[in-house]
A and B are shown apart, each in its own frame.
Chain A
Amino acid sequence: KNEVEQSPQNLTAQEGEFITINCSYSVGISALHWLQQHPGGGIVSLFMLSSGKKKHGRLIATINIQEKHSSLHITASHPRDSAVYICAVWSGGGADGLTFGKGTHLIIQP
């Protein structure tokens, strides 16, 4: 089973700062997801990556397949970005091929 490590576990930053959240995994994958979970509990899928880079508004996600590493960047961070960011990887068929990281708790202070 894939091992997924996220860092940092907790991050507090000031509004406007550039944020980077990292995700490393141990076994080759077919796809990687970045999820955002709001303080109220709702989950939003931000990106699905299998290679390269994707951008949506102030969010950028990159993946390096050779290094088994992905990063989620937030530019010009805002208090509404405060949430838990979760990395999830598919490394095979079946429900047990999907592994989640423990999440990064991000707080953006005004």
Chain B
Amino acid sequence: DAGVIQSPRHEVTEMGQEVTLRCKPISGHDYLFWYRQTMMRGLELLIYFNNNVPIDDSGMPEDRFSAKMPNASFSTLKIQPSEPRDSAVYFCASSPANGRETQYFGPGTRLLVL
């Protein structure tokens, strides 16, 4: 298996633009997680899905952020409009049946909002 795939790997955009980050989980994994990592705040869980359904989005910082999982093999994290403080590395991870089991992380998307 190719592991968790994220795209793009790097994104540079201007303030106010819409940003869409993509994730393909490992086939057969029922849980998908979106994380954000910054120097100031470290790693934070933004939202996670079970069987394509969002379970909890209490970690999403504000309404500018939205996440979808239209099918078992694809998820998006969208920021609209983007702001410089959104600059971070965004990781996607997937996990088999129990969400508290080992998680497999993607390589991350490094986002810079100018």
Do A and B come together as binding partners?
yes
CB within 8 Å of B: which residues of A?
A: 30-31, 33, 41-45, 47-48, 50, 86, 88, 90, 93-96, 98, 100-103
Taken together as a complex, chains A and B put the C-alpha atoms of A95 and B32 apart, in Å, by 12
The number of chain B residues touching the other chain, given as a range, is 20 to 34
Contact of A95 with B105 in the complex, beta carbons under 8 Å: no
Out of B44, B46, B105, name the residue touching A100 (CB < 8 Å).
B44
A residues near B105, Cβ cutoff 8 Å: 42-45
Contact of B42 with A42 in the complex, beta carbons under 8 Å: no
Query: In the complex, how many angstroms separate the beta carbon of A72 from the nearest chain B beta carbon?
Result: 15
**B85 beta carbon closer than 8 Å to chain A:** no
**Do A31 and B100 contact each other (CB < 8 Å), given the known contacts A42-B107, A95-B57, A95-B59?**
yes
Query: In the complex, how many angstroms separate the beta carbon of A92 from the nearest chain B beta carbon?
Result: 10
Query: In the complex, how many angstroms separate the beta carbon of B73 from the nearest chain A beta carbon?
Result: 21
**B14 beta carbon closer than 8 Å to chain A:** no
**B111 beta carbon closer than 8 Å to chain A:** no
